[in-house]
Amino acid sequence: MIRADLIAPIAELLEMQAATYPDKVAFEDGHRSVNYAALAREVTNLAGHYKASGLKPGGAVGVWLPNSVDWVVSVLAAIRAGGTAVPIAFDAKQSEVAYRVEDAGIAVMVTAPSKADIVSGLEGGIRPQRVILNGPGGAEADGVTNLTYLCATPAEIELPADDIDAVSMIVYTSGTTGQPKGVMLSTRSMLWVNAACWAPIFEMGPEDRILSPLPLFHSYALNICVLSILANGASEYIMDRFSTAEAMELLEKGRFTKMPAVPTMFHYLMLAAKEQGRNPFHSVTRCVSAGAILAASLNEAFETEFGVELLDGYGITETSTMVTMNWPGSVRLPGSCGLPLPGLAVRLVDFEGRDVAFGEEGELIVRGPNVMKGYHNKPEATESALKGGWYRTGDLARMDASGFLTITGRLKELIIRGGQNIAPVEIEETVQKLPGVRDCAVVGVPHETLGEVPVAFIVPDADMPVLDDVREFCGRTLSSYKLPADAVAVAEIPRTGSGKIMRFRLRDFYVESREKAGA
């Protein structure tokens, strides 16, 4: 069942929740909390100031803040003002910020005092027209306005009616090559995912208290941890950033009912809980994993250890996050990311665009209300990705006769060893079962005669397993051509905020280290 009643303009959702749950905490962080009545008031006030400062319809508001209540208010206010919210990772470098400011045409930047010099140091032609800083302060000084003051002070200006179908968010993808692409999303496309997934399948509702360790600037978190909290009238505690120790403490003391995260977070929480003999999930009824592939072994181990249902699904920024989801209390196919969301069309096609048979591998393409409007300022990339309303994901998958999808890899991440295709995730899942392995990533590296060979990068528990042991262990279940040609110990696996492995960094590191060693 699709909860179409939860798809509404931000103004209507704010008004509805403020009337229904005025004193209920909507969002909370380590510094402050805001109830639904105050949330509606702050968002409306700030939206009025955005517009009074000259923000035009569709104008871009950059939000460069750490995870916080201020972050949520700033983004919702941009949408309420008829503008476009552009979330920016708080640890972004000046060049990354400059690119987003120029590409999106950011007119207003909301950021922290620690970032003020970076913003003022941008070239004059691309510098935002107005800068708003969070934290304590007065009305305005030296052209800089204080966020707290604006949120508390009504602006004498009429706000436009919300256009739920207009571009209201530009979320930049973490591209592996070239500059990131700005994915243009609407309020409707994002809330449709809540209506088809988070509300009916994950069963998020007003009785829930959510713990969010996710980086809010990613589409997954922006959807489930911001817009869906508002739409469902739930309450949420926002972690500044993920910390295993802090998450353990919050879970044990906070009486949370649900938690979204990425596989790596669940992996480290489970390891810490087992090592310390603790069960931080005592009050949690359900968790959800997305952002990266959840290994079947981790899913099973987590549910066995804590007795808490861990649902996983598949989603991408270009589809406003979710495409598939496993349902609670139902039969699940180990390793599968579940069934397509109700109302969403999916196909698996070969290189010629022909549908493949059940059980065969093909590229996943998607069509539905949640598909992006396109890439900002990139018409050629948009035309390449969107064909006849179908979004080409670039992900490889198989579907069984019951409709369960299993992601098998990325077209661009396939390792082609002597003409034979190898999916890195298959090797990773095997290596992670080897005792002494805390984390693992597999990357294809250049080889003189075979083209590419797989190399395993391992975060060891203590002593690093030797290559022969890794190959012998993998050889029990994998074909010989899939065995790692090398195994390298690393302190951590580089990942995006949504949990995806940044394989290009590992590949570059390996190639450079081999060149230095003269190999």
Query: Which of 94-98, 187-191, 258-262 shows the lowest per-residue confidence on average (mean pLDDT)?
Result: 94-98
pTM metric for this prediction: 0.84
Beta bridge partners of 395: 410
Is 133 a residue whose pLDDT tops 80? yes
- Of residues 385 and 500, the one with the higher pLDDT is 385
Residue 518 pLDDT more than 90?
Answer: no
Please check the confidence at residue 192 and state whether its pLDDT lies above 90. Answer: yes
Q: What average pLDDT does this structure show over 247-265?
A: 94
Given this model, what pLDDT does residue 496 score? Answer: 79
Least confident residue range of 105-114, 245-254, 327-336: 327-336
Q: What is the predicted pLDDT for the residue at 102?
A: 96
% of the chain beyond a pLDDT of 90: 77
Tell me what the mean pLDDT of segment 53-70 comes to: 96
**Stretch 271-276: mean pLDDT, rounded?**
94
Please give the full DSSP string across 199-248, using - where no structure is assigned. Answer: TTTS---TT-EEEE-S-TTSHHHIIIIIIHHHHHT-EEEE-SS--HHHHH
Q: Hey, how many other C-beta atoms are within 10 angstroms of the C-beta on 283?
A: 15
Of 112-121, 135-144, 156-165, 444-453, least confident by mean pLDDT is 135-144
CA angle 240, 243, 245 (to 5 degrees): 130
The rounded distance, in Å, linking the Cα atoms of 369 and 196 is 10
| pLDDT of 387 over the 70 cut | yes
pLDDT on residue 79 = 98
> How confident is the model at residue 183, as a pLDDT?
97
- Hey, what are 136's tokens? 């304590």
Secondary structure (3-state) at 182:
strand
Residue carrying structure tokens 């990533």: 441
Residue 488 reports pLDDT greater than 60 = yes
Position 137 scores a pLDDT of 57
Give pLDDT, residue 419.
Answer: 64
Asked if residue 411 has pLDDT above 90, the reply is: no
Question: What is the rounded average pLDDT for all residues in the chain?
Answer: 92
Is the pLDDT at 290 greater than 60? The verdict is yes
Please state which of the ranges 127-131, 154-158, 446-450 shows the lowest mean pLDDT: 446-450
Task: Report d(CA 190, CA 186) in Å as an integer.
Answer: 6
Structure confidence by residue, pLDDT tens digits, 68-104 = 999 999 999 999 999 999 999 998 889 889 999 999 9
pLDDT at residue 368 greater than cutoff 90: yes
Report the pLDDT value the prediction gives residue 341, as an integer from 0 to 100.
97
For 437-463, how does the pLDDT look when each residue is reduced to its tens digit (9 = 90+)? 999 999 999 887 777 899 999 999 888
Can you give the pLDDT at residue 145?
86
CATH topology of domain 415-517: GMP Synthetase; Chain A, domain 3 (3.30.300)
- Given a contact cutoff of 8 angstroms between Cβ atoms, the answer to whether 365 and 392 are in contact is yes
pLDDT of residue 331: 80
* pLDDT for 174 beyond 80: no
User: Given a cut of 70, is residue 144 above it in pLDDT?
Assistant: no
Q: Which fold has domain 4-17+33-186?
A: Rossmann fold (3.40.50)
- How far apart are the C-alpha atoms of 258 and 441, rounded to whole Å? 28
Cite the residue boundaries of each domain of the chain with CATH code 3.40.50.980. 4-17+33-186
How many residues are present in the chain? 519
| pLDDT grade for 434, boundaries at 50, 70 and 90 | very high
Fold for domain 188-410?
Rossmann fold (3.40.50)
If you average pLDDT over residues 225-241, what whole number do you get? Answer: 98
Confidence at 176, pLDDT banded by 50, 70, 90:
very low
Banded pLDDT at 143 (limits 50, 70, 90) = low
CATH 3.40.50.12780 domain range(s) in the chain: 188-410
For residue 150, what pLDDT band results from cuts at 50, 70 and 90? Answer: very high
Of 193-207, 347-361, 407-421, the one with minimum mean pLDDT is 407-421
Mean pLDDT, range 296-325, rounded to an integer = 94
In order, the DSSP letters of 122-166 are S-TTTS-SEEEE-SS--SEETTEEEHHHHHHS--SSPPPPP-TTS
The pLDDT value given to residue 214: 95
Q: Where in the chain is the domain with CATH 3.30.300.30?
A: 415-517
Give the pLDDT score at 178. Answer: 60
Three-state DSSP class for residue 318: helix
pLDDT of residue 460: 94
Q: What is the mean pLDDT of residues 314-329?
A: 95
